[in-house]
Amino acid sequence: MYPTVRAFAVAALLAAVPASADDVTDAINAAKEAYDSGNLSEAIQSLDYASQLVRQAKSAEVVKLLPDAPSGWEADEAEDSSAAAALMGGMVSAQRTYNRDDGGYVTISIQSDSPMLQSFGMMFTNPMMLTASGAKLENYKGQKLAVTYRGGDKAGDIKTVVDNRYLVSIEGSELSRDELLTFAKAIDYGKLSALK
What's the predicted TM-score (pTM) here?
Answer: 0.78
Does residue 42 carry a pLDDT above 70?
yes
- Identify any residues that bridge with 51 across adjacent strands, giving them in sequence order: none
Of 162, 57, 65, residue with least CA distance to 120: 162
C-beta of residue 126 within 8 angstroms of C-beta of residue 187: no
Whether residue 28 is predicted with pLDDT greater than 90 in this model: the reply is yes
Domain spans in the chain, listed from the N-terminal domain onward: 3-62, 68-194
φ/ψ of 51, rounded to 5, equals -60, -40
Residues 6+ apart with CB under 8 A from 165: 112, 117
pLDDT exceeds cutoff 90 at 148: yes
The answer on pLDDT for 10 being more than 70 is: no
C-beta neighbour count of 108 within 10 angstroms? 24
CATH level 3 topology of 68-194: Protein Transport Mog1p; Chain A (3.40.1000)
CA distance 21 to 6: 22
Bigger pLDDT: 12 vs 60:
60
CB burial string 155-183: b at 16+ within 10 A, e below: bbbbbbbbeebbbbbbbbbebebebbbbb
> Does position 86 have pLDDT exceeding 60, yes or no?
no
* Residue 109: per-residue pLDDT: 94
Which of the two residues, 118 and 43, has the higher pLDDT score? 43
When mean pLDDT is compared across 14-28, 36-50, 178-192, the lowest value belongs to 14-28
Going by C-alpha positions, the residue among 133, 142, 116, 136 that lies closest to residue 180 is 136
**CA 54, CA 97: separation in Å to the nearest integer?**
25
